[in-house]
Chain A
Amino acid sequence: MALYRKHNGRRSARTVRNAAIVLVLLLFAAATLFPIYFMIISSFGDPVEAAAMSYSLWPDKVSFASYKFFMDFSPHSLRWIGNSAIVAASVMITNVVFASLAGYAFSRVRFKGRSVLFSMLLVAMMVPYQVTQVPLYILIVNTFQIQNTYGALILPGVVTVYNIFLAKQFMSTIPGEILECAKVEGCNQLQIYFRIVLPLSKTVLAVMAILTFMDSWNTFFWPFLVTNTMDMQTIQVGLKNFRFANTTYFSPMMAGATISALPMFVLFFSLQKYFLEGVTVGAVKG
């Protein structure tokens, strides 16, 4: 990382600098991590009602009863996780494919009406979902009649404007000369996209994949609206069933939240090499 001085030959200076950085990062990390920490220690509590929340910084006892309670609570507990995985994975794949294509077109391909179309996309993003959700519901449930299907869960998220925008911004930093060269060598746009743009965009596509997956995984309200049987619910909808009349089964809810966060860690660590090794033009050219 040549942004920083290499301190060649002065190892101690580098060590001191990095130690200072780590300290700052750790302080901020502590603040960031606290809620997660609390979520996890609470999940080891007993499955009792909300008033039993202990509000202590250390777990009084470690019990897996809440995890068992979560699994036993409904015969569909595992199925919820499966449904979430199906929906999130589908949405992730379609977004990475189609949003990157569109992002490339909007940033690097000249065609009539490009900026108008893109402005339209952005403006639609600015209308709050509280209002668009009723027409969308009418479309999916009353017109298409696909409530309680994977289609209803997946279709509205197939390509998001957010991802198109993200792809567009990253692809606009690819130096124009490379694309020009390819053109001169007789590549058509599809070839340029696959041979040059895609390899150069691995990092952002990995980021897009994980953010989209996570977003879809955490969505509560839409799946809640369009499912009406337990076996089609996603994990977030299922989790909410823990909240009872005047009480909340607190620890099992936290256990469920912890379980539902696990796939995201797995995804994160399996995609991490793409985050870590940024792809630069130099690397590709060389």
Chain B
Amino acid sequence: MTRKAQVLASVLALTVSMTALAACSSNNKNNGASPGGSQSPSGSASADAGSSGGKDTITALLPPVSSGFQDRFEQISKDFNAKYPNLTLKIEPASWEDMTQKLDTQVNAGSPPDIAFIGSDGISKYLQQGMLMDITDAVDSNTYDDFDQAPIAYMKKGEGLYGFPAYMEVHALGGNRQFLEDAGIDWKKVQKEGWTFDEFREAIHKGVVKDGDVTKRYGFVFANSGVTSRDYLNILIKNAGMPSAFTTDLKYAYTSKNFLEVLKDVRLLIDDGSMPKELGSIDAGKRWNMFLTGQTMITGKGLATFENSANKNNEKIDANDGSAVKGSIKVDYIVLPVPTFLGQPPMSSTVVDGYVTFRGKKEPTPEHKANIVKAAYFLASGQVAATTNNELFAAHITQSGRKAAESMTVNRNPDNVAAVETLLSHASPARPDIPVELGAKSIKLEDEVIIPKMQALLANEIKPEDMYEAVKAAAIKTFGEDGVVKD
């Protein structure tokens, strides 16, 4: 009995070690042949079988782009299936912050979904992994021409097209109309003509309200906690002659003297007392709360959809049922441009997000590719796009979307609509020419040097010059003496 058990035990132990070995070799050798070639096992299988018109499943990983977006998933899938009876669109919902992690894990494992909704700035990251699908040859000219040229350029890298854009938004600022007028600021003029840093500095200083030593209201509050400090610096330096991290001849731009000037100005606004000295740890929720409760005159970053949030809160204050933000006041949300620095032209920080197309380990068949394009286009145009963009107060960027939106009404301040149009007219252009490796290096430099130093600058622990020197040193180390701007 004991002997038997002993044999059994050693067999078990052997099995265990074999499994460990087998499992590990399968990982290393079978890379190409692993069954999960394309994310949807069913999808890829049927695609392989598929002659055109064959059954196919397309998977999409989608965040809550707008408030009602995820509620409509079932309807979207149904409508898609009605239009293409042989195709099934399988949508996985995920929240914003989690979906990147899920997508990244899937990409690392070599089995991403066919379509994922991400920011266009993520394209180079996934392209470098070789996991994006160039759909240039699968898109006909009718489909392509439905999109406005500026946004779709953001979905390109080099010669390739890697999906369709959903919207193009500008990162602007938002002001409280009453407070702006109290401070004597002609916001209509600013909306039309913009403002320089000096004008801006003076304006927000006038917005400060103090009670003795305690600041009751700041002139300007920008969310800067954690990684959002990236946004703050980015929208500023675009207006200081640095629309992108690289110049047109692909030299790293943030070693320019203008960069240092912007950093000095960042400190100035805090030292003036116009912005809180704790700026570095104010997050997006906090600053919106401060805006609605009248603790700041201007806030950032501002998206068009904030007007909607402010309007909703106003209605709740009117209804007086205790559901409005505690201590909030009625606010007319005014879209404001970011000030310009050193006489440079205004350049709106632009965000293009969209439906990006992925591939698995196996080369996708032309049929599957065509089907993915159909699904991505279905999501990015017409009725689906029109509804979503209207919920976001975002401009429509497809002809079909505009047409579908004609019958829908949106309650927006016409001045704001015009202001956003103006901002969009000097949107920072797409830069498909920046090579993927260069882009990746600059992102890493930003994360490991610029953002940490920016946090220290905001906390008044280092001087603007220190930060500038740190960035410059890191840039020269990364891109070489000849790879950076010298002026």
A and B interact physically:
yes
Residues of chain A having any CB pair with chain B under 8 Å: 46, 48-56, 60-61, 133-135, 137-139, 141-143, 145, 221, 224-225, 228-230, 240-241, 243-248
Given contacts A49-B309, A51-B289, A137-B105, contact A145 B41 (CB under 8 A): yes
Is B470 engaged at the interface, CB distance under 8 Å to the other chain? no
In the complex, which residues 55-73 of chain B have their Cβ closer than 8 Å to any Cβ of chain A? 59, 63-67, 70
Contacts of A61 in B (CB 8 A): 322
Interface 9-residue window, one of B195-203, B204-212, B323-331 = B323-331
A54 CA to B289 CA in the complex, in Å?
10
Contact B36 A145 (CB under 8 A): yes
Is B110 engaged at the interface, CB distance under 8 Å to the other chain? yes
Is B285 engaged at the interface, CB distance under 8 Å to the other chain? yes
Given contacts A49-B309, A135-B27, A241-B70, contact A142 B109 (CB under 8 A): yes
25 residue pairs from A and B, CB less than 8 Å apart? A46-B322, A48-B323, A49-B309, A50-B285, A51-B325, A52-B325, A53-B285, A133-B105, A137-B105, A138-B109, A138-B110, A139-B23, A141-B109, A142-B109, A142-B111, A143-B34, A221-B101, A224-B98, A241-B64, A241-B70, A241-B93, A241-B95, A243-B97, A244-B67, A245-B67
Contact B285 A228 (CB under 8 A): no
In the complex, which residues 91-107 of chain B have their Cβ closer than 8 Å to any Cβ of chain A? 92-98, 101-102, 105-106
Is B305 engaged at the interface, CB distance under 8 Å to the other chain? yes
Contact A134 B322 (CB under 8 A): no
Given contacts A138-B27, A142-B111, A230-B93, contact A54 B284 (CB under 8 A): no
Contacts of A141 in B (CB 8 A): 36, 109, 111
> Chain B residue with minimal CB distance to A47?
B323
A77 CA to B64 CA in the complex, in Å?
18
Contact A51 B41 (CB under 8 A): no
A54 CA to B303 CA in the complex, in Å?
24
Given contacts A224-B102, A245-B64, contact A52 B96 (CB under 8 A): no
A60 CA to B397 CA in the complex, in Å?
44
> Chain B residue with minimal CB distance to A137?
B109
Contact B326 A52 (CB under 8 A): yes
> Chain A residue with minimal CB distance to B65?
A245
Contact B66 A245 (CB under 8 A): yes
Residue among B284, B288, B323 making CB contact with A46, cutoff 8 Å:
B323
Contacts A49-B309, A243-B96, A247-B309 aside, 7 further interface pairs with beta carbons under 8 A come to A52-B289, A52-B323, A139-B23, A142-B36, A142-B109, A241-B95, A243-B95
